[in-house]
Amino acid sequence: MSKVVKNAEEAVKEIKDGSTIMFGGFGLCGIPENCINALVDNNIQNLICISNNAGVDEFGLGLLLRKHQMKKMIASYVGENKEFERQLLSGELEVELIPQGTLAERIRAGGFGIPAFFVPAGFGTEVQGDKEIREFNGKPHVMELGMTADYAIVKAWKGDENGNLIYRHTANNFNNMMASAGKITIAEVEELVPVGELEPNQIHTPGIFIQKIFKGTDYEKRIEFITEQ
């Protein structure tokens, strides 16, 4: 069965209300712009979204927030989105904040079939909650669970028709680990090539993890902050 689909609309058409979705990217770098826009257009509701952050008010996951399509946000950093802050403080949006390294490792563990692991981060804070605590080398550690999702949506620089992916520089970020942690993983790529054109040693995500792939269009690639001297 071919993994190639026509566009973002076709790629996300099976996603239903209430789905849990991982979104690759860090800030506005390496985010699946086309698929986010398609989910906005389809008005999918009550989504549980897992991402490093919530984008900005008028771009990225901020578009889903603006239309109140999120039920819950699981992230490590959300400081650049005023609508996120408003919905959090008003009780409209459920939020789970996770230390960034722990979030990354929970996703990696989920993709690799590791059910749980222990980390020192979060001990003695609200992150600890009622989680199991064990001591290793004289230091307390918090047990964290591996994380998976109904869907993972990632953005890559290049991909082939079998779903093998190459990310460009820092756009690798959360995309690579999320690709393995979705029950169904959708990849949008800037360049889609025939099988055999990618250098095997350069492939970051093997195609076995990808169920759908398409060539994206009209990427804005916004810069979150411009620093001038």
CATH of the domain at 116: 3.40.1080.10
Position 101 in a domain = yes
Tokens linked to 219: 């990427």
Position 1 in a domain = no
pLDDT at 227: 75
Domain of 28, in residue numbers = 8-120+147-215
pLDDT at 81: 85
Instruction: Indicate the pairing of strand 116-119 with strand 94-97.
Output: unpaired
d(CA 41, CA 18) in angstroms, rounded, equals 16
Contact partners, residue 161, CB within 8 Å, separation at least 6: 2, 3, 4, 192, 193, 194, 195, 213
Each residue of 134-181: pLDDT tens digit?
A: 999 999 999 999 999 999 999 999 999 999 999 999 999 999 999 999
pLDDT at 77: 86
Task: Indicate the number of domains in the chain.
Answer: 1
Position 59 in a domain = yes
**DSSP helix, strand, coil percent of the chain (3-state; round to 5):** 25, 30, 45
Position 207 in a domain = yes
Contact partners, residue 44, CB within 8 Å, separation at least 6: 12, 15, 16, 17, 19, 69
Q: Give the residue-averaged pLDDT of 193-210.
A: 97
Each residue of 204-223: pLDDT tens digit?
A: 999 999 999 999 999 987 77
Residue 79: pLDDT band by 50, 70, 90 thresholds? Answer: confident
Position 210 in a domain = yes
Q: Is the pLDDT of residue 1 over 80?
A: no
- Beta-ladder partners of 48: 20, 72
Q: Is the pLDDT of residue 78 over 90?
A: no
Position 127 in a domain = no
Position 173 in a domain = yes
Position 96 in a domain = yes
Q: Is the pLDDT of residue 225 over 80?
A: no
3-state secondary structure of 57: coil
